[in-house]
Amino acid sequence: MTEQGGARVALVTGGAQGLGAAIARRLHSDGMTVVVADLNLAGARLSAELLGGRSMGLEVDVTSDGSVGLLVDEVARAFGRLDVLVNNAGIISRTPSAEFDTAAWLRELDVNLGGTMRCSRASFELLRSGAFPAIINMASVGATLGMPLRLAYSSAKSGVLGLTRTLAAEWGAFGIRVNALAPGYIDTDMMRSGFELGVLDEQALLARTPLHRLGDADEVAAAASFLASRDASFVTGIVLKVDGGVTIDGDFRPADARP
Ligand SMILES: NC(=O)c1ccc[n+]([C@@H]2O[C@H](COP(=O)([O-])OP(=O)(O)OC[C@H]3O[C@@H](n4cnc5c(N)ncnc54)[C@H](O)[C@@H]3O)[C@@H](O)[C@H]2O)c1
């Protein structure tokens, strides 16, 4: 591994909005050059423009080997390096498991899990010569809790944890740290769609979250900043939960009997 000087370069997939956009902002304010990549090119460009200098917005479909290859080629051409990869692009669907359509199942696994594999694989050569390189994969509470109606999502996010541990074990020899973030219920469009569809009840959710509130995208971005930084130089293969405690709550008193 050769350590390069100058601003580190980060690539954030699914960075047009939500958690990805917040992570892009945070890594940029940490001093990195940030490439925002998304299926939504206009959104990626806008997200990058809002960062100001040291940024670029590009199109990618993380389910396509060709598209991911072109993206990484473009990063190499523009900056000649890649130091941080954030595999954040994701989708969620809600369907009774007994009715799950096979094509929809494969698509959801492919965006959330296949995309993480593809972008990691394509970035390996650039990352291995990067400055204390790091991969951050977006998992979810869905990798811990059984979440009715979210069969493909929970399965994919559980797979992201296995992928994270395997790459961490294999690529540690190249100096690449690989970690996962597992956000809880963070106030983004994706999460609010659960309220709108009635599969999530806001009051029930807040009652069983020890911190009694939704998370903010910037709180997830702060955790990504840590995992990308030198402060996490001996941290690899972990899952960092940013979930207000929702996955450890064992308080089964009625909501109105709690303090
Ligand atoms: N919001 C939450 O509460 C929450 C909780 C846990 C995990 N997550 C995870 O965090 C990540 C971001 O979530 P969010 O809430 O910001 O979602 P979001 O829907 O707001 O943003 C997801 C982004 O991914 C992009 N995308 C979708 N398919 C893509 C593809 N094939 N190729 C490239 N880009 C694609 C979308 O265009 C969008 O910009 C996801 O992986 C999600 O599963 C979110």
- Residues making up the chain, counted from first to last: 259
Q: Which two three-digit tokens encode residue 193?
A: 């769609």
- Tens of pLDDT, residues 159-215: 999 999 999 999 999 999 999 999 999 999 888 988 998 888 999 999 999 999 999
- State in Å: Cα 89 to ligand 1 middle: 5
Closest ligand 1 atom number to CA of residue 181: 7
Q: Choose which residue among 38, 41, 153 to substitute to test ligand 1 binding: the one with the highest number of ligand atoms within 8 A of its C-beta.
A: 38
Q: Are 36 and 48 in contact (CB under 8 A)?
A: yes
Q: What is the pTM of this model?
A: 0.97
- Would you say residue 76 lies in a domain? yes
- State in Å: Cα 145 to ligand 1 middle: 19
- State in Å: Cα 157 to ligand 1 middle: 12
pLDDT at 3 over 80: no
- Tens of pLDDT, residues 82-117: 999 999 999 999 999 999 999 999 999 999 999 999
User: What pLDDT does 5 receive?
Assistant: 80
Distance CA 94, CA 238 (A): 28
For ligand 1, whether the C-beta of 191 sits within 6 Å is yes
Closest ligand 1 atom number to CA of residue 43: 39
Q: How many CB atoms lie within 10 A of CB 66?
A: 8
Catalytic choice (153, 175, 186, 188):
153
Give catalytic status of residue 185 as yes or no. Answer: no
Q: Are 108 and 152 in contact (CB under 8 A)?
A: yes
Domain limits for position 160: 9-237
- Would you say residue 157 lies in a domain? yes
- Would you say residue 194 lies in a domain? yes
- Would you say residue 215 lies in a domain? yes
Pairing label, strands 134-138, 33-38 = unpaired
Closest ligand 1 atom number to CA of residue 22: 16
Distance CA 213, CA 208 (A): 10
Q: Into how many domains does the chain fold? A: 1
Q: Are 101 and 122 in contact (CB under 8 A)?
A: no
For ligand 1, whether the C-beta of 227 sits within 6 Å is no
CATH number of the structural domain spanning residue 185: 3.40.50.720
**Beta sheet of 177-183, edge-to-edge order:** 55-59, 33-38, 9-13, 84-87, 134-138, 177-183, 239-242
pLDDT at 51 over 80: yes
Q: What is the pLDDT averaged over residues 10-33?
A: 98
- State in Å: Cα 2 to ligand 1 middle: 33
> Position 128: which residue type?
R
Using pLDDT thresholds of 50, 70 and 90, give the confidence band for residue 244: very high
Q: Where does residue 148 rank: exposed (0-12), middle (13-18), buried (19+ CB within 10 A)?
A: exposed
Residue nearest (by alpha carbon) to ligand 1 atom 41: 90
- Would you say residue 246 lies in a domain? no
- Would you say residue 254 lies in a domain? no
Pairing label, strands 9-13, 55-59 = unpaired
Q: Which two three-digit tokens encode residue 115?
A: 């995309």
Residue nearest (by alpha carbon) to ligand 1 atom 2: 186
Place of tokens 């009997």: 257
- Would you say residue 3 lies in a domain? no
**Positive or negative: CA dihedral 44, 6, 135, 215:** negative
| Consecutive H or E run containing 57 | strand 55-59
Q: Which two three-digit tokens encode residue 178?
A: 């690989």
**5 Cα distance to chain centroid:** 26
- Would you say residue 58 lies in a domain? yes
